Amino acid sequence: MNTKKVFHILGFIFCLCLVFGYLTRVFLPKSKGELDYLPKTKTFYDQPKNTIDVLFFGDSTFRNGISPLILWQTAGITSYVRATSRQDPMVAYYYLLESLEYQTPKVVVLEGQTLFLDYSIDGREIFYREAIDTIRLSAAKVQLIFQVIKGSSNQTASSYLFPLLRFHTRWKELAFRDLLDIDLHPYDYYRGHGVVLKRVPYDLPDSYMAANTEMAAYNEYSIPYHERIIQVCKQKQIEVMYLDFPLLELSSYAKHNAGKKMAEKHGLLFLDYSVPEVFSRVGFDPSIDMWDINHINSYGAAKFSRDLANLLDAQFDLPDRRNEVGMQQWDSDLKIFLEQLSQDE
């Protein structure tokens, strides 16, 4: 085969990649589309290397409950919430591996609830898509894809590697403006926090977190991944802790007991905000700090994050980076967040 034909093949493949890449951007659901809260991961990748000290891995509870900007405001802690909807420990594990390619955190915070929730891959495609389609191609991403495919009866690796093969069916929904709306990575002012300024009043159920000695059963699927995360962190000398938020429907004392036991087994700190005794210290009031029965709104997140910042500061040797050069962006983003909180209050 002569050189001209080789160039023809390469040239055609290049053009195909361009067209395919462009159409992928057109067809992928944007954050304002069907998958709300798409993690704006580019902001994470754009953080200066080795400047994030705390990483949070969990589901929407973490996304809504933690504000890294408030951690910053309170104790100068740099953190990032790498939460995705219904994130299971398998996703958390590969997210950790991916995160470690960019940052060397001092603390990794895991969600205790994920020890118990049931995760079956079939029927949860939308959550894996949110987790996988929004991150860059990496070894961790490829491994995560193959784990998902292994456990799925109808998902394909190609649809994750080339998401257009999954979202091509959206051709009926697209309008002309979608051809121009191809920015998949808007800036994330809130460092992974999902801002919700809606207040839905809830009363604590009478039976909420009634103390007992029962132990909730761990999810067999979750435990190996929790252990892997802990193992990786130990190897990298990263502290790990468990954290839980009040979920009025899902929290239970049996889970609290089992979470505590797991933390003790691995010598980890377990901070359980679902226990009503801490509510007064934090200032949490379910009648104003929630937006649905299992999710805290941003006002509640600010309260918990202040308490969490103090605790992290006290427990771990975390630097206060507020006076470091190049961190001004945190202050300006914090200003925007605080303005949002104050406008609605």
Distance CA 51, CA 78 (A): 7
Per-residue string for binding with another protein, 155-194, x by CB under 8 A? xxxxx----xxx-xx-xx----------------------
Name the residue nearer to another protein (CB basis): 27 or 93.
27
| Among 3, 49, 118, 154, contact with another protein (rule: CB under 8 A) | 154
Backbone angles phi, psi at 239, to 5 degrees: -75, 145
Residue 19 beta carbon to another protein: minimum distance, rounded to whole angstroms: 5
Residue 9 beta carbon to another protein: minimum distance, rounded to whole angstroms: 8
Give the CA count within 13 Å in the CB-facing half-sphere of 197.
9
| Among 10, 19, 211, 217, contact with another protein (rule: CB under 8 A) | 19
Residue 179 beta carbon to another protein: minimum distance, rounded to whole angstroms: 13
Measuring CA to CA, which residue among 188, 192, 203, 198 is closest to residue 300? 198
Q: Applying CB under 8 A, what is the total number of residues that bind another protein?
A: 24
The Cα-based distances of 20 to 15, 212, 269, 314, 326 in angstroms read: 8, 57, 47, 50, 37
The amino acid that residue 70 corresponds to is I
The answer to whether 12 contacts another protein (rule: CB under 8 A) is: yes
| Among 5, 203, 220, 326, contact with another protein (rule: CB under 8 A) | 5
Site for another protein in 259-318 (CB under 8 A): none
Name the residue nearer to another protein (CB basis): 122 or 264.
122
Name the residue nearer to another protein (CB basis): 172 or 177.
172
Measuring CA to CA, which residue among 183, 195, 166 is closest to residue 298? 195
Name the residue nearer to another protein (CB basis): 20 or 187.
20
Q: Whose structure tokens read 């938020």? A: 245
Residue 121 beta carbon to another protein: minimum distance, rounded to whole angstroms: 12
Q: Is 201 exposed, middle or buried (0-12, 13-18, 19+ CB in 10 A)?
A: exposed
The Cα-based distances of 204 to 64, 248, 252, 301 in angstroms read: 19, 7, 13, 18
Name the residue nearer to another protein (CB basis): 5 or 177.
5
* Strands of the 54-57 sheet, one edge to the other: 79-81, 54-57, 107-111, 239-244, 269-272
Distance CA 300, CA 283 (A): 8
Per-residue string for binding with another protein, 97-136, x by CB under 8 A? ----------------------------x-----------
Name the residue nearer to another protein (CB basis): 15 or 223.
15
- CB under 8 A: which stretch of 133-141, 150-158, 255-263, 301-309 binds another protein? 150-158
| Among 16, 139, 210, 223, contact with another protein (rule: CB under 8 A) | 16
Residue 37 beta carbon to another protein: minimum distance, rounded to whole angstroms: 21
Name the residue nearer to another protein (CB basis): 23 or 232.
23
Residue 159 beta carbon to another protein: minimum distance, rounded to whole angstroms: 7
- CB under 8 A: which stretch of 14-22, 51-59, 264-272, 297-305 binds another protein? 14-22
- CB under 8 A: which stretch of 15-23, 280-288, 321-329, 331-339 binds another protein? 15-23
The amino acid that residue 93 corresponds to is Y
Residue 15 beta carbon to another protein: minimum distance, rounded to whole angstroms: 6
Query: Which residue blocks in the chain are alpha helix, DSSP H?
Result: 3-27, 41-46, 60-65, 68-75, 89-99, 125-133, 139-151, 157-161, 164-167, 222-235, 253-266, 279-282, 298-315, 328-344
Quote the DSSP letter at residue 219. P
Contact (CB, 8 A) for 45 and 284 = no
Can you give the binding site for another protein, defined by CB under 8 A? Answer: 1, 5, 9, 12, 15-16, 19-20, 23, 27, 125, 154-159, 164-166, 168-169, 171-172
